[in-house]
A and B are shown apart, each in its own frame.
Chain A
Amino acid sequence: MVSPHGVQLATHLISSFYGDLCSKVCECLLRRGTLTLAQIIRFTELSRENVINCLRVLIHQNCVQAFAIQQEGAFGEAPRVITQYMALFDNMIHKMRAPKFMQIVSEELGKDVGSSDVDVVRESFNRLLIARFIERCPAPEPFLAPPADGETPAKKRAAKSAKIGEERQTTEQRALAAAAPMESMRFLMEMDGLSEEKSEECTNSVTVGEKRKQDVLKSDEDVLNADKKKEVLWRVNFEELVRRLRHKACISYVKTRINDEAAIVLSAMLELSRHSETRQKAENSAYLSINAIYDEVIKKEGGLGMDFERIRVSLEQLGCQCLETGIDESYSIDIKGIIETSQTEEMESVVLRRYGREAYRIFRLLSKAGRFLETDKISDTTFVEKKDTTKILYKLWKDDYLHMEKVMTSGAKQSLFLLWRINKEPLREHVLDEMYHAALNLRLRIAHEQDKGKEVLQLPREKLVGELEKRYKLLGKVRVILESSLMNLDEAIMLFHDF
């Protein structure tokens, strides 16, 4: 399930882009999970027509996935097929990342001059496809086959009620898997012309800032209609764009933490292993030979002068795993390790800022220890006064940054010991939720500042003199601060959620 502020942020984004009605439907699905049309109508208290229209928009914008599932008939009735709808939270949050995604595309493929010539558009489309920035859309309403035959209805019901939560999760994952095109087809272009079959998202990522509105909306009824010609629809491949951002983040981290040369070597390794990354969050790169790494490094900016020895030093600094088989020398990088270290540093930075230097030391001690530590032990190791240590630990615990347990020793004299530890996974989720909260706050403040200054912003250029000009410039400055902060914060959000 999505965290509370994650739901609020997603709902706010949908509202900004597609209106309040869509955001109501979206919020309903995010809070309550996968639902049928009837359930959505009941919970949102919107009319059937409104809900259907909203679902169409959300499906078209890849924010909702529909799927058909067999439901057992009650009281001896035959089983029937029902349609359920699930929210795609990640894709909703991606809405605020369009500029970032477009920047990646323009860095790799260059900026389009905005030509509407069919051949130019087709050429751009091909380049996007080769780079895997676009992919075939998933099936609009895949059918999930019922569980294997042979089980008695009673057994099925018992199993179902025993682990209803687990089953829901599996159903959604099954739906996504069933909807996704086969890997061999995913980036395959149809040979029989496609200029009229592009969806809204496709070529816009090259033409920076332009949105071409194409009417390829499909209603649920149309989807179910087997007679209708099956058109190929395309959409942005978020997986590839997120992978690029993940690599960028790792390289940037290594550049500041180690040095430029290590960053160049890492960049070369990630480039080489990119195509073999089958999982969204690959933990280790493939094993790459030193020769392949060298060939890639010298192509990079600043890498031309590097020799094998310097590359080996960088590989050592990166903590690469080395595999020597005879004359071959191969290396693999632990990408997951870099991501986790970045996450830890981000959390430590918040603790330092919010609770102070002593709390920072305490937090780092507990983070490194990975187990329970007693108050006095923490105080001694971090050189924090004993009375202050308890105060700081309580504050961190109250704000859900630490886990605490009390231990009472029995005997002649009863003593109470307090034990503290960091539980990494719950803490990560908690910090991520706070970041969603902060992102929402930034967006609300941006809207508020724009609204406050709308009179000045709407004035023609010539009227902006004296005080008004000052005010106009200040509004511009404020907007830049807020928007750039939001973009930076979004990188941290991706670090915790997508990378």
Chain B
Amino acid sequence: MSRPRVNPTLKRKRPETDSPDLVDAERAILNSIKSRKDLGIWARDIKQDTKLADHVVNKSLKSLLTKNLIKEVVNIQNKGKKHYMAVEFEPSKEISGGEWYVDGNLDKELINVLKQLCFRFLRTQKVATLEGVCNELKKNRVVTFDISNQQVSEILNSMVLDNDLIEVKSTGLGDYHSIPIGTICYRIASAAGVAKGPRMGAFASIPCGACPRISLCMPNGVISPTTCVYYTKWLNIDF
């Protein structure tokens, strides 16, 4: 029986820790991590899974990291807790947050840049389909990597939610003459073609509409209309 080949990437074990259990421990922990594939695993779950002592697990993790068998990833569900994954896997959408997340945070800069590009394009075009916007972005080359149609669609949808754009169906007439009837298109929300954003409603224009304490307010209460500081501030406005 030949001895198993020693992996040259493994560091020489230090004499004081040189016990069969540690290597087994590392293997057990590595297996536990690998079993979670692209979801990764939290340190405490490793301890529960392998039933090993804390200090053993911690040391093994450090060792595995150094040996480049595992990596640390950020779990957006819980950024404070350390999450580990085998190197051969990429974090799934569930823990990375998806294409729009970088290091556990939303890539707001990228999102804003894309939104601006879409908006500028629609200002000149009056109306455009998803395909039209995608082609324009690819032509533009402001972003150096590929943006999928799905991602552009997500950006446009979020602009619709912001009321910067409206989603309409082509009628084939007027502005839509070159677009097949029934196709979903986008246009700038306001009639003038310049997005003024959502209109301020009557209720929202007064302090009560914006007030987070309206449910506590009553005529002779601690919070009341006659003593309200929001009202006082509002009424002191100089035109």
Contact = CB atoms under 8 A, between A and B. Distances in A.
Interface in B142-162: 154, 157-158, 161-162
A355 B150 CA distance: 29
Q: Is the interface of B mostly helix, strand, loop or mixed?
A: loop
A361 B111 CA distance: 15
Given A349-B199, A349-B204, A381 B157 contact: yes
Interface string B196-239: 00111111111011111011010100001110100100110001
A353 B235 contact: no
Interface stretch (A22-30, A34-42, A72-80, A483-491): A483-491
Interface string A286-314: 00000000000000000000000000010
A313 B173 CA distance: 9
B105 A444 contact: no
Interface size class of A (residues with CB under 8 A): 35 or more
A353 B209 contact: yes
Contact of A441 (B108, B215, B225): B225
B174 interface: yes
B225 A445 contact: yes
Contacts of B205: 485, 488
Contacts of A384: 106
A421 B212 CA distance: 21
Given A349-B198, A438-B209, A385 B105 contact: yes
State which size class the interface on B falls in. Answer: 35 or more
Nearest to A490: B202
A364 interface: yes
Interface stretch (A256-264, A324-332, A455-463): A256-264
A384 B157 CA distance: 13
A137 B108 CA distance: 64
Nearest to A446: B225
A8 B220 CA distance: 13
Contacts of B174: 313
A448 interface: yes
A56 interface: no
A448 B219 CA distance: 11
Interface string A350-362: 1011100100110
A255 to B, nearest CB: 9
**Centre residue among B98, B191, B201, B204 by max chain A CB count within 10 A:** B201
A352 B206 contact: no
Contacts of A441: 208, 217, 225, 228
B163 interface: yes
B77 interface: yes
B158 A445 contact: no
Given A364-B161, A364-B163, A386-B97, A349 B203 contact: yes
A434 interface: yes
B76 interface: yes
B235 A485 contact: no
B206 A349 contact: no
A449 B162 CA distance: 38
A257 B100 CA distance: 33
Contacts of B161: 360-361, 364-365, 381-382
A346 interface: yes
A353 B200 contact: yes
B191 A383 contact: no
B238 to A, nearest CB: 9
A353 B204 contact: yes
A364 B239 CA distance: 33
A485 B235 CA distance: 12
Contacts of A365: 161
A437 B202 contact: no
A360 B201 CA distance: 13
B129 interface: no
Contacts of A445: 225-226, 228, 231
B171 interface: yes
A481 interface: yes
A340 interface: no
Contact of A349 (B108, B162, B200, B208): B200
A467 to B, nearest CB: 16
A361 B191 contact: no
A375 to B, nearest CB: 10
Interface string B85-106: 0000000000001101000011
Contacts of B210: 350, 353-354
Given A349-B201, A385-B105, A444 B235 contact: no
B77 A386 contact: yes
B206 A438 contact: yes
Nearest to B158: A383
Contacts of A167: none
A361 B198 contact: no
Q: Looking at B100, B162, B209, which has the most chain A CB atoms within 10 Å of its CB?
A: B209
14 contacts: A257-B191, A348-B163, A349-B201, A354-B209, A380-B100, A380-B154, A384-B106, A386-B76, A386-B97, A399-B215, A437-B208, A444-B219, A478-B235, A481-B235
* Ranked 10 nearest A-B pairs via Cβ: A349-B201, A438-B208, A441-B225, A488-B202, A353-B204, A346-B201, A349-B204, A492-B202, A361-B161, A448-B226
Given A256-B199, A380-B98, A442-B206, 7 more contacts: A345-B198, A345-B201, A354-B210, A383-B111, A437-B217, A438-B208, A444-B219
